[in-house]
Structure 1
């Protein structure tokens, strides 16, 4: 009797437990994948704007030709004027050669834009969750970290993915510029250490009111 009760309790999972196994919690394999790194727009919008302007100009030429043909305006169609201007031009004329060369050069300049990778505008943080920091935000963080440094009255920071440049204005004597640079480096060290790929730090000091 006692043995049967013990076996029954064992099979049911014991007191306070259900007979079914608890669902396994999702592990690291079930974590969401990090998003792709943000990138800039590159030169593609500029080309798109030029193409849009060319299409608008072509549409204006077409409308002018339509109005001229229907008699709405007395001006001759621009297309006809252009054809009359080039009529009789030999295929080996210098102007034809120049136009052909210019067209080829423009084509070669525009073609690589379609295949060129868009520039990256952020820096990855040393984390496992795909956290990234925009370069302009890095400049703001660095500027805040440098403010309040001994003798520094103003600071200008520019940041790229490869370089962090700090220009500090100091009222201290010029012989203390080394100490100011070291202080700025110590203040920025935690920020740079948090980045997966650290940009090069360049610090310069401008002395204000010091001869």
Structure 2
């Protein structure tokens, strides 16, 4: 039986609730995948998004899926082929920059919970009409940032978001304090210079600081 949109949203919401920040990872070196995942999980960020932007992405997902305590997802899903490859690699959830009927159907067929992207009220409403109420707000900063996302809270209170795109330690809290935000996606917790230097303790420290970000009243 195919995964229903409501079940997909429930499962992605559970993953998004693990920590306030979901690391968005672009991995070039497969050898770095395991220690990177271990450092992020140890720092309190168990949900990891590996973007399908490099040849190393799928092998990295396979490796990271073996790390205890981690929940590895595949980002930048665009086609049904991406969905099948991500599922075969061991991804437990998917993330897309937008959404098409073809992509949604593929994720449902493959039983891969999807966090679909939306940047406007119309896109969010279309996904809601299909049964998706846990969405990615992308590109967050370019689409108006926290004020734009806050403006969607009143007319669409049944939708929860994970904003991604331009999120940093400086603006993350502005998003996380919104009533319709559960978590945010960010790449700053795994900067390329620290990955290249194999500074896993440094990455763990960044993850720990990010895991302590929370909603303020």
TM bin (shorter chain): under 0.3
> Which structure is larger by alpha-carbon Rg, 1 or 2?
1
What TM-score do you get using the length of structure 1 for normalisation? 0.21
TM-score by length of 2: 0.20
Q: Which has the higher contact order (CA 8 A, sep 6+)?
A: 2
